[in-house]
Structure 1
Amino acid sequence: MPRFATPRAFARDVREQGLAYLRHQPGGRCASPGQWGTAAFWTTAFGLSVALLLSTTGPPGFLWCALAGLFAFFMLATLCHDAAHGSLSRHAGVNRTVLTLGFGLFGVSGALWRWRHIRLHHMFPNVEGTDIDGEGSLLIRVAPYGPWRVWHRAQALYAPLLYALLMAHLAWIEDWKNRAMARRMAPELFATRAATIEFLLVKLLHAALALGLPWLVLQPPLWALVLGYLIYTGVASVLFIVIVAGSHLSEEAEFVSPQDGQIAHDWAAHQLRTCLDWAPQSRAAALFSSGSNAHTAHHLFPQVAHCHNAALSEIVSDAAARHGLTHNITSFAGLILSHVQHLHALGRCPALPDPQTKETHP
């Protein structure tokens, strides 16, 4: 794994200020009553949308599929992301249960997602060869060190269609690959009988509830069942990419290729360089993004519930200003525009070195 430079003044300053803030919070680093109340609201909305879906036939049912995906994403972001970091509750059992059930709504193993998210993404966001969210694929190029293909010229146009397949792909294809890798690298966690049972139960329950139950109750044609499922998972997938991953996949966010395994700046400065926040002090933005609008604060304080992100973001901005560093901040519209511009830029054919002059040519 790459190595960061020795922590510098900003890292020490922002940590001291952040911990001082947390010491004065009644619930410490964990979720506040307000966050639990928000989670209850989104959970109720999800339940109502599912009830309406199961009582509706015809095209209106697709609207309820979309709303179910919307509210399920809000539940996932409000509860499960913090549970993955152990910051939703002080009780490990609560965190694990919420993580398993929440990601199970999409047929994804919460345990596997947590393992990869913390181990690969949080330590090294936007670092070549280490960050799962910056890997892209042959179909889309999201990092400058990714291979370029001619069809990437149009990736800003077709990207939303690929984004919509994220959750379905993760549930039915990628999760199985991740499980095989995890069983090799962490057999004590994922090569056990309990882990296998949990993994298979998540897949079976997801198939039964998301496909089997609508089939039995509504008896739709096969195309309508599949389309409804893709709408449900697709809405959540697009929101995840744009609102969460988009904070790293933007024009302002830097991408790093370590030299001889070394990263020139320290870990805290790296979080500033690789994140783009949008309206980090906005309560409305926090409500609908579950704190992802202040993503830099989350990366600097990953074991803190997102209800504290707005306050921590202000601390980050002040500390960055004191040390001459930039805290990347924009609006929601700015985030979308920056992501689209990022896709356009990476869709162009990269400059290639001239073997004779060592100059670069487009």
Structure 2
Amino acid sequence: MLLLFFVPLIILSIGVVQSGWMVFLLYLVSGLGMTGIGMGVMHDALHGSYSQNKWVNKVLGYSINIIGANASVWKIQHNVLHHTYTNIEGSDDDINMPFFLRFSPNTKHHRVHKYQHFYVWFFYGFLTLIWVTAKDFVRINRYKKIGYFKKKHDVFKELAKTILWKVIYYSYSLVIPIIMLPVSPWLVVGAFLFMHFFTGMFISVVFQTAHVMPSSEFPNPDEKGMMPDEWSVHQLVTTSNYAPRSKVFSWFIGGLNFQIEHHLLPHVCHVHYKQLSKIVLEKAEKYGIPYNTKPTFWDAICDHFRMMRALGQNTVAV
């Protein structure tokens, strides 16, 4: 995945490509590599499950910094908030969206949401571009306010790291190709945006089809701050699997089609999820706990579309 990401960018940076369609093709291939890094390399590494060696996990976890993001911020957003407070309004950052998107029945409904099942796909395409441009700064500020960065030194340190890695990323992925390629700079910018749109769309759909589904629950704490289910049951009722028989697809997305197993055992490497799923399913059936799964990725996408429409029309029960 690292080679799939870097080799096309190296070819672009040495200026040997002269045709526009080749520029777009190479950026697309690099986007496939970026997708693979995001789901199959850094994801396991930052969960501490890529290797039993902490140093290996730390080094491979920095692959997220290489593609313009911040590993420390991601671990708070994903490992802490998303995995602890899955589908809980205000706490799970994966469903905390701008006002024009509604991912939870507990979010205030606006008239614009009526059409979100059509326009959400367009905004999915901007996920990684916004991420490598602004989102880390927004989250550093948010996480400072809620106490994850308690010292000013920590904030300045993360801000400095974030700025440095983003400058490095934009330099080698966009600025150098613009300088070196004998084509219009706007063509290179267009191909770069095309790469991010493809990557953002794919990653967004992979993650959102695991939690924003008709079968998903969006529980709230009671007046004492207590949840209706204990943590492991909560993960089962808020999460969904898909395409359990697709070996190639599962390999490419880092086993994230087995989201239930990943949420129950985030410190276990994804290569074990398929076998673990048999045990989890057996236990879920034994104790009468839902085990939500879709036979194909397309089925999951269709159900996600239906869920976004229902949320937009405010027909999902709270």
Distance 1:219 1:193, change over 3 A: farther
Distance 1:196 1:152, change over 3 A: closer
Matched, 1:165 2:126: yes
Aligned to 2:179: 216
Aligned to 1:226: 189
Aligned to 2:99: 138
Deviation at 1:146, TM superposition (A): 1.6
Paired residue type of 2:163? L
CA distance in 1, matches of 2:228, 2:32: 40
Paired residue type of 1:251? P
Q: 1:334 aligns with which of 284, 292, 299?
A: 299
Aligned to 1:258: 221
CA distance in 2, matches of 1:59, 1:116: 37
Percent of paired sites with the same residue: 26
Distance 1:351 1:196, change over 3 A: closer
Matched, 1:319 2:280: no
Q: 2:108 aligns with which of 134, 142, 147?
A: 147
Q: 1:175 aligns with which of 133, 136, 139?
A: 136
**What's the CA shift string for 1:70-121, capped at 9, x where partnerless?**
2211122111001111111233332222222x21343111111112211110
Aligned to 1:47: 6
RMSD between superposed Cα atoms in Å: 2.2
Partner of 2:6: helix, strand, or coil?
helix
Deviation at 1:192, TM superposition (A): 6.4
CA distance in 1, matches of 2:230, 2:152: 30
CA distance in 2, matches of 1:190, 1:68: 35
Paired residue type of 1:97? V
1:178-327 matched pairs, under 5 angstroms: 178-184=139-145, 185=147, 186-187=149-150, 191=154, 194-218=157-181, 220-260=183-223, 261-327=225-291
Contact 1:248 1:276 in 2 (8 A): yes
Contact 1:128 1:258 in 2 (8 A): no
How many residue pairs are counted as aligned between the two chains? Answer: 310
Matched, 1:121 2:86: no
Aligned to 1:35: none
Matched, 1:85 2:47: yes
Q: Which runs of 5+ in 2 are unaligned?
A: none
Deviation at 1:333, TM superposition (A): 1.6
Q: Which runs of 5+ in 1 are unaligned?
A: 1-41, 353-362
More moved, 183-192 vs 165-174: 183-192
CA distance in 2, matches of 1:237, 1:214: 21
CA distance in 2, matches of 1:189, 1:314: 47
Contact 1:142 1:343 in 2 (8 A): yes
Partner of 1:108: helix, strand, or coil?
coil
Deviation at 1:223, TM superposition (A): 2.9
Contact 2:140 2:155 in 1 (8 A): no
Deviation at 1:284, TM superposition (A): 2.2
CA distance in 2, matches of 1:215, 1:51: 13
Deviation at 1:221, TM superposition (A): 3.3
Distance 1:318 1:268, change over 3 A: same
Q: Which of 1 and 2 has greater Rg?
A: 1
Deviation at 1:325, TM superposition (A): 1.6
CA distance in 2, matches of 1:92, 1:197: 24
Paired residue type of 1:310? K
Paired residue type of 2:47? H
Partner of 1:277: helix, strand, or coil?
strand
CA distance in 1, matches of 2:292, 2:166: 39
Deviation at 1:274, TM superposition (A): 0.7
